[in-house]
Amino acid sequence: MSVAPMMDWTDRHCRYLHRLLSQHTLLYTEMVTTGALVHGDVQRHLRLNAEEHPVALQLGGSEPADLAHCARLGEQWGYDEINLNCGCPSERVQRGAFGACLMNEPQLVADCVKAMVDVVQMPVTVKHRIGIDQDESYGFVRDFVGTVAAAGCTVFIVHARNAWLKGLSPKENREVPPLRYEVVRQLKADFPQLTFAINGGLNTDAAVQEQLAGLDGVMVGREAYHNPWWLARWDALYYGAPPSTLTREDVEAAMVDYMAREAAAHGTPWASIARHMLGLRHGLAGSRRWRQVWSDHRLKGLPPHEVMALAHASPVEA
């Protein structure tokens, strides 16, 4: 199991929350562009908590030398995997000549992968779509995987939708192109020696288990973010761990302690951490008011332990 890289969401605070819920699920950073690491603040982009492992760094880029440099940085900062983004369809990413448009240049992707494989000891993986625009020919993605695998990539995370490079927003690209899970299963049949994880629209235990019957892994995106308590079942369901005794209150209290440490060490406002746990009480009575308290910026001057007390007070007491 893994939680997808999601821009503006899967930062180190979000990953800390997810690791409290599951000890074994593979976590991913937001996509970090090579330009941000070559020219920007490396610490800001790569700092991570020791508790996050196993955690993968997702890179966005298309220059083999820059990707090799950034992969080395990822290794130095202690990440467990380097992942190359070949799936993001946003126009901003396209202007940088990376993301999903790279699927049109499989040999370039292979060169990028080889450049990284040659300089790090950890796995180098690729996340991609099953096609570009309205071309649904299986041969396109089969040849892409074959070319990239020859360069040393053995793990492919496949978002089972095409990416439409024109005419759809990133949100629409997650919803409009049809899901075609059978394409990923065909890839596994044609490349049994490779590892395939599937991504896209999987939001129930039954759906995950159906895919794991024929594939090597499942990556969950937005459902894991909006309903993080789901992760608390995964260690028992998929890793042979005993059933979790965690409660939502345990997790919230641990996050509040983390907020206090982050404020003391880095001056991090608690609100930038609390936003990631707003789905923790998803579906429970009183969850709406609990979310309102934790997202109330008028309370930002209070210590997080006091905010937690307010969140659990009755409306009359508050």
What are the tens digits of pLDDT across the range 232-263? Answer: 999 999 999 999 999 999 999 999 999 999 99
| Mean pLDDT to the nearest integer, 210-216 | 98
Q: Is residue 215 part of a domain?
A: yes
Q: Do 225 and 253 have their domain in common? A: no
Reported as a pLDDT band with limits 50, 70 and 90, residue 290 is very high
Q: Do 78 and 206 have their domain in common? A: yes
Q: Do 188 and 223 have their domain in common? A: yes
Give the chain's radius of gyration (CA, Å). Answer: 20
Q: Do 54 and 14 have their domain in common? A: yes
Q: Do 281 and 181 have their domain in common? A: no
Q: Which residue has the tokens 């608390």?
A: 232
- Higher pLDDT, residue 197 or 97: 197
Q: Give the separation between CA 11 and CA 17, rounded to whole angstroms.
A: 10
Q: Which residue, 238, 271, 286, sits at the end of a domain?
A: 238
Q: Do 293 and 163 have their domain in common? A: no
| Mean pLDDT to the nearest integer, 71-82 | 98
Q: Give the separation between CA 264 and CA 267, rounded to whole angstroms.
A: 6
The amino acid at 297: H
What is residue 89's predicted lDDT score, i.e. its pLDDT?
83
What is residue 315's predicted lDDT score, i.e. its pLDDT?
66
pLDDT in tens, 4-63: 999 999 999 999 999 999 999 999 999 999 999 999 999 999 999 999 999 999 999 999
Q: Is residue 96 part of a domain?
A: yes
The amino acid at 178: P
Q: Give the separation between CA 202 and CA 188, rounded to whole angstroms.
A: 18
Q: Is residue 13 part of a domain?
A: yes
Q: Is residue 107 part of a domain?
A: yes
Q: Give the separation between CA 27 and CA 21, rounded to whole angstroms.
A: 12
Q: Do 259 and 225 have their domain in common? A: no
Q: Do 163 and 305 have their domain in common? A: no
Q: Which residue, 238, 259, 290, sits at the end of a domain?
A: 238
Q: Which of 14, 70, 88, 153 is catalytic?
A: 88
What is residue 317's predicted lDDT score, i.e. its pLDDT?
47
Q: Is residue 318 part of a domain?
A: no
Q: Is the model's pLDDT at 316 over the cut of 70? A: no
Q: Is residue 22 part of a domain?
A: yes
Q: Do 260 and 198 have their domain in common? A: no
Q: How many domains does the chain have?
A: 2
High-pLDDT (> 70) share of the chain, %: 97
C-alpha distances (whole Å) from 217 to each of 158, 185, 194, 211 are: 10, 12, 12, 8
CA-closest candidate to residue 290, choices 229, 260, 249, 261: 249
Q: Do 58 and 148 have their domain in common? A: yes
Q: Is residue 212 part of a domain?
A: yes
CATH number of the domain where residue 81 is located: 3.20.20.70
Reported as a pLDDT band with limits 50, 70 and 90, residue 153 is very high
What is residue 318's predicted lDDT score, i.e. its pLDDT?
42
Domain hosting residue 157, numbered range: 2-238
Is there a catalytic annotation at residue 70?
Answer: no
**Considering the chain, what is the average pLDDT of its residues?**
95
| Mean pLDDT to the nearest integer, 221-233 | 97
Reported as a pLDDT band with limits 50, 70 and 90, residue 275 is very high
Q: Which residue, 203, 238, 273, sits at the end of a domain?
A: 238
Q: Do 155 and 252 have their domain in common? A: no
Q: Is residue 317 part of a domain?
A: no
Q: Do 138 and 271 have their domain in common? A: no
CA-closest candidate to residue 27, choices 44, 60, 51: 51
